[in-house]
Structure 1
Amino acid sequence: MILILVRHGKSVANVNKVLSNDPDKYPLTEEGLQQASFTARELRKLMVSKLYTSPILRAYQTATVIGEALGLIPVVDGRLRERDLGELNNTYMEADHWKLRLMRKEIEARGLENWDSLKRRIANFVEAVAGEEVVVAVSHYDPIRAFVSIATGVEEDVSLWGVSIPNASMTIALYGEGRVKLLTIGAPVLLPSVLSQLNPQPELRGE
């Protein structure tokens, strides 16, 4: 199986520096829609068999743009949703990253979904779709980092501090014979070196 995790395009929440796991707030910005369109064009280089998405609006909008380009209808899967933020939901973070502030004991986050819970639900999603050939799943920053944690064996959230997952980027893994091989983390394009490992069928969908 080829698994391609796509982070949603830039949203109003990203621009306004608001943390939110609400399902129906903070849509994509115009830039975010353009990012989703660019990623969709990249994904046309592959024969994607299934498209899944988080139910959160910014992810669903991204998946809709991708689905229109690929001729696929996005399937909503709650396991791809944003991290449950607890009392941090819909809060504005002006200065340092909220995780740094948590580590410094400057803020509390009652109800925040823990790292192990996040990894379990992402692992459960991957196991459920393992029978597909080429899967695209639109999700969020922390769930995708949780997948990177599973694939690399890096255990703690803060240990992945330097791992960047930009908006509309692609994190790609190959699954086979019980092994996982990460090909990209947060990549904006499908490079020829990556495509050569994915056995694509170029131009199969046409323009």
Structure 2
Amino acid sequence: MATLILVRHGRSTANTSGVLAGRTPGVLLDERGAAQAAELPARLAGLPIAAAVSSPLERCRETLRPLLDARPGLALHTDERISECDYGDWSGRKLAELTEDPLMEVVQQHPSAAAFPGGESMPAMQRRAVEAVREWNARVEAEHGPDAVFVMCSHGDIIKSVVADALGMHLDLFQRISVEPCSLTAIRYTRLRPFLMRLGETGDFGSLAPRPAKESGADDGRAVVGGGAGAP
């Protein structure tokens, strides 16, 4: 079966400013994010990538641009179903401010019951993302064979929800998963079950070093909604 490589977009201006970007237009990669994207072709060198799929949001398309430039024959497809979660009224607000909202506890502890005002529910987010992944997996395999590899650039909560599905985890446990900016996660789907081959691979262990609690975003055990900024 085909192998999917999920790429979280590189670090964005919203990540570093502590803002939950959601689908807010004009959110681009920052300097570090652009550097992370530039390293992507070398990190994926040697892999026969058959297709590239992206969230329509600019920060994802920016992340894949160096890879596409390095492989002129590789076309880019966009799919709305792997776009960022529609956080509705939460979009564009500071994460520090959102921690005081009662909904945040639900997002952290019981995401299968979380629905964002003016936006979508987290179960709806997972359903559309998993549907997209499985349809693209079948399409790539049909067109390029069972050993094909394809990349899909998306967002933190989307990737975490796809990983949870692959592992047979309830959505309420998906906040235990962490994927940093420009990390690579590989899933191989087979007839009987998916196999998680890599999770949040960056090649950089710097983010594991102790940091001041106010910078960690999860010093009290809370997950960073939207995925966080990664290593400083």
TM-score normalised per structure 1: 0.81
1:109 Cα offset (Å): 3.9
Work out whether residues 9 and 59 of structure 1, in 8 Å CA contact, stay in contact via their aligned partners in 2.
Answer: yes
Residue 150 (structure 1) aligned with residue 152 (structure 2): no
Which residue in 1 is equivalent to 2:49? 48
In the other structure, the counterpart of 2:150 is: 135
Q: How many pairs are equivalent?
A: 186
Q: Note if contact 1:21-1:85 (Cα within 8 Å) is conserved in structure 2.
A: yes
Distance in 1 between residues matched to 2:202 and 2:10, nearest whole Å: 11
Moved over 3 A (4+): 95-101
Task: Give the C-alpha shift of residue 9 in structure 1.
Answer: 0.1
The match for 1:177 among 191, 204, 212 is 191
Please state how far the C-alpha of 1:96 moved relative to its aligned partner: 7.6
Structure 2: which amino acid aligns with 1:110?
P
CA deviations over 1:27-81 (Å, ceiling 9, x no partner) = 0011101111222211122000000100111111112122112332321111110
- State the partner residue of 2:77: 75
Contact kept in structure 2, 1:25 and 1:57, CA below 8 Å: yes
Contact 2:87 2:118 in 1 (8 A): yes
Q: Which runs of 5+ in 2 are unaligned?
A: 108-114, 141-147, 204-232
Q: Are 1:151 and 1:180, in contact at CA under 8 Å, matched by a contact in 2?
A: yes
Aligned counterpart in structure 1 of residue 174 of structure 2, from 145, 152, 160: 160
Query: What does residue 14 of structure 1 align with?
Result: 15
Q: 1:44 to 1:144 in 2, by over 3 A?
A: same
- For residues 117 and 8 of structure 1, the distance between their equivalents in structure 2, rounded to whole angstroms, comes to 21
Q: Relative to 1, partners in 2 of residues 1:2 and 1:98: Cα closer, same or farther, differing over 3 Å?
A: farther
What SS does structure 2 have at the residue aligned with 1:75? strand
SS, match of residue 49 in structure 1: strand
Find the aligned partners of 1:41 and 1:167 in 2 and give their Cα distance.
Answer: 16
Partner of 1:93: 95
> Which ranges in structure 1 are unaligned for 5 or more consecutive residues?
190-207
Shift in CA distance, 98/45, structure 1 to aligned 2, threshold 3 Å: farther
Aligned residue identity for 1:162: R
Partners of 2:17 and 2:82 in 1: how far apart?
23
Is the 8 Å Cα contact of residues 13 and 26 (structure 1) preserved in structure 2? yes
Cα distance, 1:100 vs. partner?
8.3
Aligned pairs for 1:58-69 (under 5 A) are 58-69=59-70
| Identity between Structure 1 and Structure 2 (%) | 28
Match of 1:187 among 201, 219, 223: 201
Query: Cα gap change, 1:142/1:174 in structure 2, threshold over 3 Å: closer, same or farther?
Result: same
Normalising to structure 2: TM-score of the pair? 0.73
- Asked if 1:110 corresponds to 2:111, the answer is no
Question: In the superposition, relative to structure 1, how do residues 171 and 73 fare at CA in structure 2: closer, same or farther (>3 Å)?
Answer: same
Given that 1:23 and 1:55 are in contact with CA atoms closer than 8 Å, whether structure 2 keeps it comes out as no
1:194 maps to none
The whole-number CA distance in structure 2 between the counterparts of 1:95 and 1:144 is 24
CA contact (8 A) 1:64 1:73 kept: no
> Post-superposition shift, 1:20?
1.7
